[in-house]
Every structure is written in structure tokens, then in C-alpha cells.
Structure 1
Amino acid sequence: MAGSTARSSTRRGSTARGRTGRTGTPRSRTGRGAGAVAALACAALLLAACGSTGSPGAAASGGGPAKKDGKVGVILPLLTSPFWQSYNDYVPKMAKSGGVDALKTVNSNSDPAQQITDMNNQLNQGVAGIVVAPLDSAAIAAGLQQAERKNVPVVAVDVAPEKGKVAMVVRADNVAYGEKACDYLGQKVKKGKVVQIMGDLASVNGRDRSTAFRDCARKKYPDLKVLEIPAKWESDTAAAKLDTLLGAHPDIKGIYLQAGGVYLAPTLQTLKSKKLLFPAGDERHIAIISNDGIPQEFDAIRRGDIDATVSQPADAYAKYGMYYIKAAMAGKTFEPGPTDHDSTIVKTPSGNLEDQLPAPLVTKENVDDPKLWGNTIK
């Protein structure tokens, strides 16, 4: 859930928008924050010298040949979201079915510096591979550099790194998330004020979704007025800012939640407290589309509290994270193009490959589909 001037994970290549919303280099953790994280990484890893981040194609050195088998470290960004809780549950199952000897997952607790320390700890334990969901797509370069020095392959899940080498990025197309949300609200609302509750704009996911939604609305739905809440994947921040915004704009017609796992509950509670929560079909209903595909969103769709969500594939993230790390440890490489699992591998501007997994739109018409991962967990 992190930044540079390019969307580092999609087939579209335009300038990213930073925290201020102005076009240009975003105010992300790429500067002082990333430097501080890198400095902490140096202190944490005394056995290796920390230099500048190498290019994605830089040759590894000092670690000997990559291991064809061995233990795999799995590092989570956080466990406060139902989405990541579900991913965490899938990891051991997918590792077992994929023949991967995965260690118990490590939770970085939403701290990018801790995530680098976690990677270094795994490397010092002698893991043969790492699967990590980066918290900050710039700061993660420090950990990737150490892995490359030790010839330990890394697969990134959910977030594409801006710099540093990974064997594969396993991720859905986050630009498509924003566009799907825009199209859904554009067709539902047609005219009026809509708000997108954004993620962390230091995250490529937050930027991709935000920019895509904004651009789509401007180009295709000029009668929509887009308001924005930068909430940094924080539920308390989302609730407080939405409460303030609704006080100033009680005539909101639609809401886009960029992460249902953290924004769904506070959004519904805030609407309820403002006496603005009405079921779908009521003329006073505020149309809501979310992202994640967690069971709680499905229940909210069934109740009529929200209208739709884009199902981010937690099961496939775990499955193909294990698949690609096993392949990388065996020395297998891939090329851009369609896969055998209904996705497409693309080359990112950073030079890494990304498997863009499908993420279906879920509405009341298909919310009970047993194939959706949100319907397969308890």
C-alpha cells in the first residue's frame, strides 16, 4: 500500500499525482522517508554494506547461487484488515497445495521500516525465497537490494516496487479498480457530488485507484463533482474526514471506498450517525462501491447498505505468490503475455514483470456466486 512519477504497475504510463493532488512527483516516502527506512535497513543488517539501490537488472553478488528449494518467508503488511486476514489464512493452504515450505507469516504492522527489518531477519535465517506485500513501493527497495545480494528471489504481492528486482509482481490492475468504480457510480448517480475515500498516496495502489477514478469521471461523467478524502488506509481518519465532509456537503450522491477492509465499517457507521444510511432502492440512498471482496462487503450488498465491490483476489494472491516464488527458486522465468489462468503478464516501467489477476465486479446480481473467494471462507 507506496510512490514515483509513473504508475509503476499498469499498462498505462502517465504522471502520478502526489499527496497534494497536483501533477508531478508525489510527496511520498520516496524522499526522506525512504532514506530513513534505508538507513534503518543498514543498521539492521550489519553483515552487508548498504549502498544505493541497484537497477532491476543489476547482477547479484556475494550470495552464491540461488537455492532450488528451501524455506520461504512470507511477510504481511498488516493484519487489521479482513482482506489481509483472509490472505493470511490462504497462505499456508496455498503453500501446502503448491509444494512450498513456507514459514509462519510475519506481520509488519503497517510499518515500512519494520518490513525491511522483517526481510533482513528472514534473509539472515537463510530463507530460499521471500513473498512480501510491500507497505511502501519506494522504501521496499532497501529490502530487495539485500535479497538480491544474497541471490534470494522475491515475489511482491499486491504492491509493485518502484525500484529493485523481483521475480514477479502478483497484483490486480488497480487502474481498472478506479475505472470500474467510476463507471459504476457514473451510471448510477449520473449527476451530483461523489466522494472517493482514498488510500495512502505513498502507495502505488492508492495513487492508481485515485487517479483512475478522477480521470474517468472528468472524461466520461462531467456532471459528477468528485470530492476526495485522503485517508491513508486508516479507518479512524476516514470516519473523521467523512463526518466533516458530510457536514459541509450533505447532498453527497455516491461514495467510492478504495479499501472495504478498512473503510466499510466506519463509512456505514458515519452515515448512520448522520441519518444518511438508507437501503438501495430508497430515493435517499447514497450509492456506494467498494474494493476488496471481503464477506462483510457481500453482506452489506445483500442488506442494501452498499451497491457493489470490486473483488480483489486474496486467494489468487496467495496461490500465485507461492507459484511464482517456487518457479523463481527453480530458475524459471516468464515473458509478458496471457497466462493459463485468465490474467496477463505485463512489463512495468521498473523492468519487473507483473501478473495482473482478474478482479470481478460484484453486485446484488452475482453476490451469491460460490466461485467468489468472499463466499468460500467462514
Structure 2
Amino acid sequence: MAWNAARFDRWTSLGAPMGAALLCVAAVLGGCSKSESPSSGSTAASDTSASGAALANAAPAASGGESGGGSGGMKKIGFSVSTLNNAFFVGLKLGVEKGSKTEGFELVQTNANGDAQQQVNDAINLLSQGVSALVLNPIDSKAIIPAVQKANQMGVPVFTLDRGADGGKVTSFVASDNVALGATGAKWIVEQMKTRYGSPKGNVVDLIGLVGTTAAADREKGFSDEIAKYPDIKVVARQEGGFDQEKSLNAMTNILQKFPQIDAVFGANDDNTVGAEKAIDNAGRYKPLGDKERILVIGADGTAQALSAIRNGKQDATISQNPIQMAAKSLSFISDYVAKKPVPENYAWPTLLIDKSNIDSDEVKKYGLWSLQVSQ
């Protein structure tokens, strides 16, 4: 199932009806750290709970054939995470582990360490271990296609998490609505420019995420489409930050040398923004809150560094996700799938804009500061 921005109107949002009926996997289909060994697996939960016992006796997956586990029911779940060098993905890992424990699944997991080919190899290795479902957090939406197709051929359902796949059959994709997230960043900048100048105008820098990921592409689409509605706001530079602090630091350093007047920066994630903030500091262009020459910075994800930077006046806002709860939701859909309940093709976890005005509010506490639960 390729991710397509035109399908956003079909996303299931938190609290909305589940929508479409369960999609079945046919027996044959034609078709933003702690290190782990890329191909090593670890067991995070056993199937000794009541739900695990129920799964052991469950009917085969909806394909009508034998499930990938070979025991007639969903028990062993394979999970491939793209990297653990970013706190967000550590949060995803934690959420998958918690979800597996709650649902009574045995979990076998691998860390691809940012290597797309290694991730394909890891996923195929997980399939060879007889997993009953495969959860993927793809490094690259195109590179992961062979692994998805292999799972399809074996009758093993695929669930993608945070990032999608551009080919093969995916049963359910759980992520934030990243197009909407990018648009939220643009709208925030527009409002700040209105406050600064009396009308929406100014110079903006767009630090794009990791090219090749659906999250980066969708956030860029949302941001670019929204900011384009305001012709007096000029995007003076668009450069890949790669969801990476060092790459974003270097990119922003070069941009600052070329453009003496910059009003705001949109970072596709908080690693991008932290890198940008360091470059602004290094260039001697940091201005305090309220100063009309301040370079405003907004990012995404809600990392601990971003929250600290907001408190310290270095960053203005972040559009927070909650990878722990998002990942646990994906595991609950696997339980629904084996129970032959409806599972949404696309499920959007809500985001929340956090700035200095609401960072300590009950609303933010209720949403959850996930990064406080993650240690690297």
C-alpha cells in the first residue's frame, strides 16, 4: 500500500469511527541512543497472558491460509526499527514493547541503524523466524518494498509505523497526519509574521527531513502548500536537514551566511531545529523572546531537547507527536486483525503544538510528554 497524500480524507483520527472493514491478506499476492546488533532479536514480552493464550488458540489470519507463525494464530511479532540514534524512534521501540506486553505477544526486534538494505535483510530474517505479523518503521519507503512483498507472498500481514511503504500490501499504517503537521508549522509562522509586521510577510527557511521517507515528504508537502498561500512570505532557502542535528547545523550555517535577514525557520523535526538553533547561536544571531530581530524556530516531535530549548527561550514551538502511544496502538490493531475485527488502513495519531504559553498546561500533560519517558 503506497502512501498517497490524496487519501488523507480517509484517515481514521483518534476518537473517530474505525471506518472500513478489515482487509484480508491473500495466501498468495502478486504484488523524528542504545545500540542493537542489526540482525539480532530480543524478546520483549511472552504470550503467557490471557490474551496470548487466546491468540494461541485463534483461527488462522483472515487470509484463510495458515498464518506466518505456523501455529494457527498470532503469537510472535517481528519489529524492525529504522534507527535508535533518535529519541523519537526509541519512543517507538518502547511503545512496541509495551503494546506487545499488553496484547500478550512475543516480540522479536531488530535495529537497522539507518541502513535501508540492512533493514530489508532484517525483515526477511524475521519472516524466516516464523513471525505472525511484521511491524516496520521504514528507513526508505521505496527500499522497503521487497520486504513487504516477501511478507505478502508468505501470507504475513504487514503493519507500518510512523513511515509508510511505497509498494506491496500493508494492512495498517499508523502515524501522525504529517501533511497536516507541516501545514500547522506554516500556519504558526504566518501568525507570527502577522504579529511582527502587521501582515503575513517575511523571510523563512525550510529545513526538510530525511529524503526518501514518507514523513519528510508529507511534512514538506503540508508546509509548502500552506506557506505558498502567502506570496509575501518568501522561502529564501530549502535544504535537507535529514532529521539530523549535525547536517542541519551545517545547512543552517551556510544559509545564515547567505541571507542577512531571516525571520523564521521550519524544521521538519526537532533534530533539525536543534541544529538550526546551534547555527544561529554560533553566528551570533540569537535574539531573546520578543525581539523583532529574533529568528523564530518551530520544529516537530516534542523531544526532550526541544522542550528544554522552549523553556530556555532558544526554540519557540514544537508540534509534538507521541510515539509511545502511537506504537502501542499499532500493536492493538494486530490483536484486532487476528480477532477478525475491522482494522483501518490509515490511522492518524493527533499532534499538539507546544510553546512557552502551554508547556506546563493540563492539556499538554494529558497529551503526554513522551520524551520524559525515554532515556538514551
What's the TM-score, normalizing by structure 1?
A: 0.77
> Structure 1 177/254 Cα, relative in aligned 2: closer, same or farther at 3 Å?
same
State how far apart, in whole Å, the 1-side matches of 2:212 and 2:336 are: 30
Match of 2:106 in 1: 101
Q: CA deviation at 1:376?
A: 4.6
1:237 aligns with 2:237: no
Q: CA deviation at 1:236?
A: 2.6
Match of 2:26 in 1: 59
AA paired with 1:86? G
> Structure 1 8/74 Cα, relative in aligned 2: closer, same or farther at 3 Å?
farther
Aligned with residue 201 of structure 2, among 170, 191, 200: 191
Q: CA deviation at 1:231?
A: 2.7
State how far apart, in whole Å, the 2-side matches of 1:83 and 1:8 are: 26
State how far apart, in whole Å, the 2-side matches of 1:263 and 1:231 are: 6
State how far apart, in whole Å, the 2-side matches of 1:211 and 1:90 are: 28
Higher mean displacement: 170-179 or 196-205: 196-205
Aligned with residue 175 of structure 2, among 152, 171, 174: 171
State how far apart, in whole Å, the 2-side matches of 1:250 and 1:60 are: 60
State how far apart, in whole Å, the 2-side matches of 1:70 and 1:97 are: 13
Match of 1:267 in 2: 276
Match of 2:142 in 1: 138
Match of 2:153 in 1: 149
1:166-225 deviation digits (Å, cap 9, x = unpaired): 220001111111100000011102321111100133222211111221121111x22210
State how far apart, in whole Å, the 2-side matches of 1:363 and 1:197 are: 19
RMSD: 2.4
Q: Secondary structure at the match of 1:113?
A: helix
Check the 8 A contact 1:256/1:289 in 2, yes or no: yes
State how far apart, in whole Å, the 2-side matches of 1:249 and 1:292 are: 27
Check the 8 A contact 1:112/1:135 in 2, yes or no: yes
Aligned with residue 7 of structure 1, among 5, 8, 16: 5
Check the 8 A contact 2:241/2:272 in 1, yes or no: no
Q: Secondary structure at the match of 2:373?
A: coil
Match of 2:73 in 1: 68
Check the 8 A contact 1:370/1:376 in 2, yes or no: no
- Mapping for residues 1-378 of structure 1, pairs under 5 Å: 6-7=4-5, 10-11=8-9, 59-61=26-28, 64-66=65-67, 67-103=72-108, 105-189=109-193, 190-219=200-229, 221-226=230-235, 227-260=237-270, 262-334=271-343, 345=344, 353-368=345-360, 369-371=364-366, 372-374=368-370, 376-377=372-373
1:72-116 deviation digits (Å, cap 9, x = unpaired): 11110111111112222332222212322222x311111111111
Check the 8 A contact 1:195/1:254 in 2, yes or no: yes
State how far apart, in whole Å, the 2-side matches of 1:201 and 1:60 are: 34
Structure 1 unaligned residues grouped into runs of 5+: 13-55, 335-344, 346-352
Structure 2 unaligned residues grouped into runs of 5+: 11-22, 30-62, 194-199
> Structure 1 98/373 Cα, relative in aligned 2: closer, same or farther at 3 Å?
farther
> Structure 1 295/232 Cα, relative in aligned 2: closer, same or farther at 3 Å?
closer
Quick one: percent identity of the two aligned structures?
29
What's the TM-score, normalizing by structure 2?
A: 0.77
Q: Secondary structure at the match of 1:73?
A: strand
AA paired with 1:217? I
State how far apart, in whole Å, the 2-side matches of 1:375 and 1:211 are: 26
AA paired with 1:329? V
Q: Secondary structure at the match of 2:131?
A: coil
Q: CA deviation at 1:366?
A: 1.9
Match of 1:42 in 2: none
